[in-house]
Amino acid sequence: METGLEYELVRRLKADDPSSLKEMYAAYWEEIFVYVLKVMKDSEEAQDIVQELFISIWNRRKELEIQSSVRGYLFSSARYITLRHIQNSARRKEFIQLFANAIPDTTPAAISLEVKELDKQIATCLNEDMPERMRLIFRLSREEQLSYKEIASQLGISEETVRKQIYYALKILRSKIQGSTFLFLYFFIFFPKH
């Protein structure tokens, strides 16, 4: 896609034109999918990552600052999301193995079920017990793995505000999800501090 067309595509995307996302998807999804598939070696995971990429593009369309080509931006973002998936997968395996070794008579399958249940509880808490702004800041920090500085810049707030919002979000999560053997290590492994 030539530069003028890419510029127009991004302009339309920022103007909330969903057809621009469809055009971007049609132009690049296969090439990005093949790239991610080479790394992940699993077509379902690769599809999930490509889907996550385009959802992220749409959700962040107003803040997009594409310095190079759209193709370059998409590949860079796909690489970042892929690495995050690999890192989270490795952390999950590390977490399960740690508890399987530390707690007698606990199987990795039982721990995996506990982690899935904890994931559900966290999602429920995020969606039902946190104000929208706090939830956004928490997700940018923990899911998108943005630094406090990046979040502050993106949202036009101070780093101290970000820090306080993360602190209160974690406090809410701890109060709502009590009694989980895994909670402390879960946050330590999956949500490292910035």
Domain boundaries, the chain: 1-88, 103-194
CA dihedral 11, 13, 18, 24 (to 10 degrees): 100
CATH number of the domain located at residue range(s) 103-194 in this protein: 1.10.10.10
103-194 shares the fold of 1-88? no
Candidates 35, 34, 32, 37; CA nearest to 56 is 32
Specify whether the CB–CB gap between 162 and 72 falls below 8 A: no
- Report helix, strand or coil for 111: helix
Q: What is the pLDDT of residue 193?
A: 47
Positive or negative: CA dihedral 63, 39, 114, 52: positive
Q: What is the pLDDT of residue 45?
A: 85
Alpha-carbon gap, residue 98 to 106, rounded angstroms:
11
pLDDT per residue as tens, the chain (194 positions): 556 788 888 888 888 888 888 999 998 999 999 999 988 888 888 898 899 888 888 888 888 777 678 888 888 888 888 877 777 776 666 656 665 665 555 555 665 666 677 677 777 878 888 899 998 898 888 777 788 888 988 888 999 999 999 888 888 887 777 655 455 455 544 554 44
Best CATH choice for the domain 1-88 from the list 1.10.1740.10, 3.40.50.1820, 1.20.1260.10, 3.10.20.600: 1.10.1740.10
pTM of the shown model: 0.50
